[in-house]
A = this chain, B = another copy of it.
């Protein structure tokens, strides 16, 4: 516990005056400037990461990143995280904590407490707080209206394609393996170290987005969830596919963590993204009045997506 606390606490630096971080029963923290946001996510070895293909550090990175992505997906900024490690004997604890610490630093979300316990299966659980500035409402899944445009913050399917490449490489005899191309390396990187679109979430809220969520289970599943929550249908024109990924991976692959956004004013959204130096949002279609209409290029789009089960 002390070693883990040192690794995580050290990476986060000392707490500001008046705050208590790792080491006591609970952390004591400055209150959020606006409303309090709270989210949690578990990353399970063998479910969310195949540790024969990626490192324990990647599992740690993913657990923290997935949690702050949920905070960003309502338009808030992450503030603090607490982490639980359930660790079987032989776990690469140093790698695990390093991955959590790297993500914590990357997303400016210090780890202020945690718990370590023995277990038969490796689980990293992260809970994080965030703050929602100002008096505008959060951007929920349920706010989309017929006619709203649907956009995503980037092409999809990279994480699933990266996993496929790692699985293919593992099946290839060592003497037949070759160096990955730059495109392949990017896909593997997207699988191992996905990014949370935190700035995009804040800017989308400021630009008046009507509904938002992060795409963690695949566009097909998550877009249907947004449509269900909003009571709308959707008509997609096309889906942006990450270079080297397939359309199936873009629709059904999970853990890209790009944001799915509904907006009445896609031009204003694009202008705000450009003003903040963010990648241009990509229009994929629009919301429709008939809640039963769920189409891609005129054909029905079901919920085939990533079910958090590898293979």
Partner of A115, one of B28, B40, B112, B129: B40
A40-B83, A47-B117, A123-B123 known; A31+B30 contact, CB < 8 A:
no
Interface residues on A, range: 35 or more
Partner of A47, one of B27, B36, B119: B119
A1 to chain B, nearest CB (A): 10
A214 to chain B, nearest CB (A): 6
Chain A residues with CB under 8 Å of chain B are: 18, 20, 23-32, 34-42, 44, 46-48, 69-71, 73-74, 76, 80, 82-84, 86, 112-115, 117-121, 123, 125, 127, 129-130, 132, 138, 140-142, 212-214, 229, 308-309
Q: Which residues of B contact A114 (CB under 8 A)?
A: 40
Q: Which residues of B contact A74 (CB under 8 A)?
A: 20, 24-26, 28
Complex-state Cα separation, A80 to B37, whole angstroms: 11
A280 to chain B, nearest CB (A): 23
A contact patch SS: strand
A31-B32, A308-B118 known; A39+B25 contact, CB < 8 A:
yes
Partner of A39, one of B27, B70, B125, B140: B27
CB pair A29–B23 under 8 Å, yes or no, is no
Q: A40-B84, A40-B114 are in contact. List 16 more A-B contacts (CB 8 A).
A: A23-B229, A25-B39, A25-B70, A26-B37, A26-B39, A26-B70, A27-B37, A28-B35, A29-B35, A31-B36, A32-B36, A41-B115, A42-B117, A86-B123, A118-B308, A129-B129
Question: What copy number does this chain have within its complex?
Answer: 2
CB pair B82–A127 under 8 Å, yes or no, is yes
Pick 23 A–B contacts, CB within 8 A, sort by A: A20-B140, A23-B229, A24-B229, A26-B39, A26-B76, A26-B138, A27-B38, A28-B76, A31-B32, A31-B36, A32-B36, A36-B129, A38-B112, A38-B129, A39-B82, A40-B84, A40-B115, A40-B127, A44-B86, A44-B118, A47-B117, A48-B117, A125-B127
A88 to chain B, nearest CB (A): 9
Complex-state Cα separation, A42 to B85, whole angstroms: 8
Complex-state Cα separation, A308 to B213, whole angstroms: 38
Q: Which residues of B contact A138 (CB under 8 A)?
A: 20, 24, 26, 28
